[in-house]
Amino acid sequence: MAHLIGDFILQPYSWVKAKETSRLKAYQFYLHVIIHAGLILLVFWDLSFWLLALTIGGIHALIDVLKLYGQKEVNKPQWFVAD
């Protein structure tokens, strides 16, 4: 649920385009990762899960980095499903 909210509700289309054009230079990429980690903390509603939230946020960041550098027009649907 947190992933859907982070990717489709709290991530404006302008952030998606900024990440696609500037990749890791886009500050929106880092805000997106922070939002995902924060949403995980909200799901657990317990700050003692900060390491889990950080780990999940890091995994999401890694997947997004792979997507930013591996995604082409011809394979966008596959990356969408993988994410």
Residue 45 backbone zone (phi > 0: left; psi -120 to 50: alpha; other: beta): left
DSSP class of residue 10? S
pLDDT one-digit tens code per residue, 3-19 = 889 888 999 999 999 99
Structure tokens at 48: 């003692």
Dump pLDDT digits (tens) for 7-61. Answer: 889 999 999 999 989 999 999 999 999 998 889 888 888 888 888 888 988 998 9
| CA pair distance 1, 65, nearest whole angstrom | 21
